Amino acid sequence: MADSRMNDPGLGTPTAPIPNLGASKASIQAHYDREPLFYERFLGPSLAYSAAIWNEPANRDTLEAAQLRKLDWHIDMSGADSGRRVLEVGLGWGSLIKRLMVRRPGLEYVGLTPADNQVQYVRSFAPENFVTEISAWQDYQTNRPFDAIVSIGAMEHFAGKTMDRNGRIEAYRLFFEFCARMLRVGGRASIQVNGWANIAPGSEARHIAESGIDRFWNEGNLPHASEMLLASEPWFNLIHLEGKQRDYIYTLRAWIRNLRRHETDLVALVGSEMFNDYLHNLTVCLEAYVAGALTLYRLVIERKGPVAGLGSVPKG
């Protein structure tokens, strides 16, 4: 009989600490440890700092409705709609927690972020069964497996700025190995990340994107779809992969509109330098998307193992 652990390296407790090959804790904190009110004004009440799922025509949709649709999509695709234990990597300002508090109030949830004030903010409204930890995934350990993992808009930070394709694959491999260690067999991870579209190296669109990435995800890097597939295949089967450029274009447009609408308040709150910095960074990122260099990936993968509950192969 085949051993289900064959071609399944990395199970069990890691024997050595997992290195951080991506953005430093200091750069994550510098980016996210800011006044929540600033984010609330431009991200909207959901405080979701990631692309939404828009219905066409987008001008008849709203950012809030589209963010809710996105959260529900990840809840359903990961199995968090029915699983008992759910892990979120990169909890942000708690947008997923708020939705899960409505849909799955009794859930055992654990959420991770290295940014202290995101955790302080989320603890002010999350009940006790929603556990939030100031921790990078690289430092998190548990011996109780999860049924589902959701990670939205965090993987941009998991590979270092100067890494080439092989370096990124190695960085993502460490992340997927971590996910495999956390999940029961058959458990799913639903991941959303900004990534490279398939464009030629050296093209004008690529230059625009490179300067955008530098400003927007400083110290970070973005994946190609093939890199995520290669890095995850030792432990996972593919359930779903999509590239939805328009979802981030519409989201960025809504954020830029919000920034402009609240300019006076926001400048009073954080100063004109930070305000202009955000406006510029979002605009460059939008240009890179419109030029076709970047796209928004949603990846759903399932922890490999024997398929339970379907009985044996019929004989005769």
Ligand X SMILES: C[S@@+](CC[C@H](N)C(=O)[O-])C[C@H]1O[C@@H](n2cnc3c(N)ncnc32)[C@H](O)[C@@H]1O
Q: Which is nearer to ligand X, 98 or 304 (CB)?
A: 98
CB of 137 to ligand X, least distance (A): 4
- Considering only 75, 115, 174, 284, the residue that binds ligand X (CB under 6 A) is 115
- Considering only 112, 174, 182, 205, the residue that binds ligand X (CB under 6 A) is 112
Could you tell me which of 219, 234, 241 has the C-alpha nearest to residue 174? Answer: 234
With beta carbons less than 8 A apart as the criterion, state whether 157 and 131 touch. no
Q: Which is nearer to ligand X, 296 or 304 (CB)?
A: 296
Q: Which is nearer to ligand X, 154 or 179 (CB)?
A: 154
With beta carbons less than 8 A apart as the criterion, state whether 22 and 159 touch. yes
The reply on whether position 113 binds ligand X by CB under 6 A is yes
Q: Which is nearer to ligand X, 47 or 266 (CB)?
A: 47
The structure tokens listed for 242 are: 């999509």
Could you tell me which of 185, 183, 160, 182 has the C-alpha nearest to residue 170? Answer: 160
Q: Which is nearer to ligand X, 31 or 253 (CB)?
A: 31
Q: Rounded to whole angstroms, how far apart are CA atoms 314 and 251?
A: 50
- The contact pattern for ligand X, residues 4-43, with x = CB under 6 A and - = no contact, is ------------------------x---x-----------
Helix H, strand E, coil C: the string for 95-140 is: HHHHHHHHHCCCCEEEEEECCHHHHHHHHCCCCCCEEEEECCHHHC
Residues 54-93 binding ligand X (CB under 6 A) are: 89-92
Residues 131-190 binding ligand X (CB under 6 A) are: 136-138, 152-154, 157
Cα separations (Å) of 305 from 4, 13, 148, 162?
A: 6, 18, 15, 35
The reply on whether position 194 binds ligand X by CB under 6 A is no
| Per rule CB under 6 A, count of chain residues that contact ligand X | 22
Packing angle of the helix pair 263-270, 36-43 (nearest 10 deg): 160
The reply on whether position 196 binds ligand X by CB under 6 A is no
Q: Which is nearer to ligand X, 58 or 115 (CB)?
A: 115
Q: β-strands 146-152, 85-89: how paired?
A: parallel
The footprint of ligand X (CB under 6 A) covers: 28, 32, 48-50, 89-92, 95, 112-115, 118, 136-138, 152-154, 157
